[in-house]
Amino acid sequence: MTTSIFDNIISQRHLSLIDFYARWCGACGDMEPTLQRIALSLGDMVNIIRIDTDKLEHRKLVRRYNIVAVPTFILFNSGEALWRDSGIVSYETIASTIRRYAKHDIYSR
């Protein structure tokens, strides 16, 4: 994914959960079922975008968002980073965060 495509996605008025991961990362693999569950249960509220931090084309994004640990998750809406966490994050934590910001966005339109 190019930087310009990424910028276009996160600038939209819709929640986007960015998963900065690496294929060699055990915790990243452990998070895959959680992200799949989020996609199935909350896919109408959030886009999930996975960024492989080892790919050369993603180096600018890794630097821009100061990704020093994987997995790192950042939730965006309208270009603004609303929430950020790293490591193993529970389904409940991610889902409640998405619901909170989705609810806020509905009332602010």
**Each residue of 86-101: b (16+ CB within 10 Å) or e?**
eeebeeeebbebbeeb
**What is the spatial distance between Cα 15 and Cα 78, in angstroms, rounded to a whole number?**
8
Helix 26-42 crosses helix 91-108 at what angle (to 10 degrees)? 40
Residue 107 has pLDDT above 80, yes or no: no
Residue 14 has pLDDT above 80, yes or no: yes
Catalytic residue from among 25, 27, 49, 102: 25
What pTM was computed for the model?
0.93
Query: Using the 8-state DSSP alphabet, how is residue 27 labeled?
Result: H
Residue 2: predicted pLDDT:
87
Q: How many CB atoms lie within 10 A of CB 57?
A: 12
For the stretch 42-73, pLDDT in tens is 999 999 999 999 999 999 999 999 999 999 99
Residue 108 has pLDDT above 50, yes or no: no
Comparing 59-68, 73-82, 88-97, 99-108, the range with the smallest average pLDDT is 99-108
- Establish whether 47 is a catalytic residue: no
For the stretch 15-37, pLDDT in tens is 999 999 999 999 999 999 999 99
Catalytic residue from among 28, 31, 62, 94: 28
- Establish whether 25 is a catalytic residue: yes
Pick the residue with more confidence: 104 or 19?
A: 19
